[in-house]
């Protein structure tokens, strides 16, 4: 089948979408991608057999137009036009679009063609946008109107024929919330890794003393990710455990930069923090192998109860025991696999207790790491879960 993948971000920067495309290609489908040219890469091109069509739009334009879409729907109008042209030019037979807010423009652009639409939910978007500092801070909140997405969610979900979610509990939540979705086809596709790709990367030399106990966090950094608890825990741990270090790799949310700067420059823990704004995914295995534990300390909320971040499965693949907060999907994964430990989100004392336990029990850490790798190789990888995704088509 000829499938049109529609994404409002740069395709080469979205690992989840690339993994899904690879799975669909492996089942014999022809993939065409429509996305904006946010990075000035060029309006057309290929990645292997994937045919990519981009249209002119800068990242700044996207941020502004998307931010005001609930007041001035120009962003949707632009996308409707692009979707119509895309379908006509590529003659795709089905559409697979990503993120809740893309459902309406894709549906409207598809009205003439009546192609089946798959809506791929990367998160619980109405909950997510209400946790973003940039969206909820006055006066931007007046333009963004984050709470309006709660009212739009049902309508946008109904635009789709198939709905892809990250976990079973989020699927059931949506079905219970909206009885009209009972006849929709749901597919569960977690943020699992492409094992073949990750295992091809060779370990690299990295400048982390092997004697240090490294707590590793990889990905976007912000208050909503629960990292404030990690900083507070580090303050308490450092006097007695000076070899415990916090390794952070990822960009800091714009609205949280000043707060994080104050923690990262705090003289009590400054020497205990290792920070890189960005590292390529190819370097992840080296950092994971040098780390004692992998962190996912998310604050529990409806957004974070909608799925598990890809970093958790990536830690597990490289035998790094995980320490996660008690967001439902994370808790269920650890209970099932024995790949690490769970602490009560935002409970600094409980986090400290779990860190000390893992610090003092290296053999248990080793066993947890082995459990995690086994679970990813046998179940939580793109090949195994990809069969459900392919079943849509």
Q: What separation, in Å, do the N-terminal and C-terminal C-alpha atoms of the chain show? A: 7
Minimal CA–CA distance to 216: which of 289, 272, 294, 281? 294
> Among the three residues 189, 207, 230, which one is the final residue of a domain in this structure?
189
The domain that holds 152 is classified in CATH as 3.40.50.2000
Q: How confident is the model at residue 225, as a pLDDT?
A: 94
The pLDDT value recorded for residue 137 is 86
**Residues 124, 171: one domain?**
yes
Domain boundary among 189, 207, 226: 189
Does one domain contain both 213 and 312?
A: yes
In the block, residue with structure tokens 């949506």: 174
Predicted pLDDT at 209: 61
Q: Can you give the length of the chain in residues? A: 393
Is 386 domain-assigned? no
Q: Is residue 281 part of a domain?
A: yes
Best CA proximity match to 245, nearest among 220, 216, 204, 218:
216
Strands 30-36 and 2-6 come out as: parallel
Domain assignment present for 393: no
Distance (Å, rounded) from C-alpha 188 to C-alpha 230?
31
Residue 371 CA: distances (Å) to CA of 127, 199, 291: 32, 17, 16
pLDDT at 135: 87
- 121 with 225, same domain: the answer is no
Q: pTM here?
A: 0.87
Whether residue 266 lies inside any domain: the answer is yes
Q: Cα–Cα–Cα angle for 130, 133, 138, nearest 5°?
A: 90
Q: Any idea of the CA torsion for 20, 218, 303, 178, to the nearest 10 degrees?
A: 10
Instruction: Render the burial of 359-376: b for 16+ CB within 10 Å, e for the rest.
Output: beeeeebeebbebbbebb
Give φ, ψ of 118 to 5 degrees: -105, 125
> What is the C-alpha to C-alpha distance for residues 108 and 73, in angstroms, rounded to an integer?
13
Residue 390 lies in a domain: no
- Per DSSP bridges, beta strands 273-276 and 117-120 are unpaired
Same domain (yes/no): 162, 77: yes
* Pair (326, 228) in one structural domain: yes
Do 85 and 206 reside in the same domain of the chain?
Answer: no
Assess whether 115 and 16 both reside in one domain. yes
In a domain, 384, yes or no: no
The pLDDT of residue 133: 76
Parent domain of 333: 196-378
Instruction: Please say whether the beta carbons of 121 and 163 come within 8 A.
Output: yes
pLDDT of 187-233, one tens digit each?
999 999 999 989 998 666 565 666 799 999 999 999 989 999 999 99
Name the DSSP letter for residue 39.
T
Any domain includes 17: yes
User: Are 145 and 292 in a shared domain?
Assistant: no
Residues 50 and 130 in one domain: yes
Task: Encode 130-169 in three state secondary structure.
Answer: CCCHHHHCCCHHHHHCCCHHHHHHHHHHHCCCEEEECCHH
248 in a structural domain: yes
Instruction: Give the number of domains in the chain.
Output: 2
15 and 132 belong to one structural domain: yes
- Of 159, 189, 219, the last residue of a domain is 189
The per-residue pLDDT for range 363-382, each reduced to its tens digit, is 999 999 999 999 999 999 99
According to the model, what pLDDT value does residue 42 have?
Answer: 87
| Residues in the chain with pLDDT values less than 50 | none
Q: Does one domain contain both 180 and 212?
A: no
Q: Are residues 213 and 355 in the same domain?
A: yes
């Amino acid at each position: 089948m000829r499938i049109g993948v529609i994404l409002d971000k740069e395709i080469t920067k979205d690992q989840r979408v690339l993994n899904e495309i690879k799975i669909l290609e492996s089942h014999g489908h022809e993939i065409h991608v429509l996305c904006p040219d946010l990075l000035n890469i060029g309006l057309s091109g290929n990645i292997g057999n994937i045919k990519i069509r981009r249209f002119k739009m800068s990242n700044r334009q996207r941020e502004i137009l998307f931010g005001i879409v609930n007041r001035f729907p120009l962003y949707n109008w632009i996308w409707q036009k692009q979707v119509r042209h895309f379908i006509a030019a590529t003659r795709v037979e089905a559409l697979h679009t990503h993120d809740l807010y893309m459902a309406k423009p894709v549906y409207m652009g598809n009205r003439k063609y009546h192609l089946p639409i798959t809506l791929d939910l990367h998160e619980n978007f109405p909950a997510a946008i209400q946790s973003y500092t940039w969206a909820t801070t006055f006066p931007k909140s007046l333009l963004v109107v984050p709470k309006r997405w709660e009212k739009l969610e049902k309508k946008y979900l109904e635009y789709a024929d198939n709905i892809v979610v990250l976990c079973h509990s989020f699927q059931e939540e949506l079905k219970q919330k909206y009885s009209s979705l009972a006849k929709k086809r749901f597919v569960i596709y977690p943020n699992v890794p492409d094992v073949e790709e990750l295992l091809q990367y060779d370990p690299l030399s990295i400048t982390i003393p092997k004697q240090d106990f490294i707590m590793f966090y990889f990905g976007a950094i912000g208050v909503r990710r629960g990292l404030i608890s990690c900083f507070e825990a580090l303050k308490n741990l450092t006097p007695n455990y000076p070899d415990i270090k916090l390794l952070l790799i990822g960009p800091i949310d714009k609205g949280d930069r000043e707060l994080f700067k104050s923690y990262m420059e705090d003289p009590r823990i400054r020497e205990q923090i290792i920070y890189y704004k960005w590292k390529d995914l190819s370097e992840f295995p080296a950092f994971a192998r040098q780390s004692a534990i992998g962190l996912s300390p998310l604050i529990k909320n409806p957004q974070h109860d909608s799925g598990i971040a890809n970093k958790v499965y990536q830690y597990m693949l490289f035998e790094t025991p995980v320490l996660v907060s008690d967001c439902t999907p994370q808790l269920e994964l650890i209970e099932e696999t024995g790949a690490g430990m769970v602490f009560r989100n935002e409970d600094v004392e409980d986090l400290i207790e779990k860190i000390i336990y893992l610090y003092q029990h290296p053999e248990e850490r080793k066993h947890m790491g082995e459990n995690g790798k086994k679970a990813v190789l046998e179940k939580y990888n793109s090949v195994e879960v990809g069969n459900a995704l392919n079943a849509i088509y």
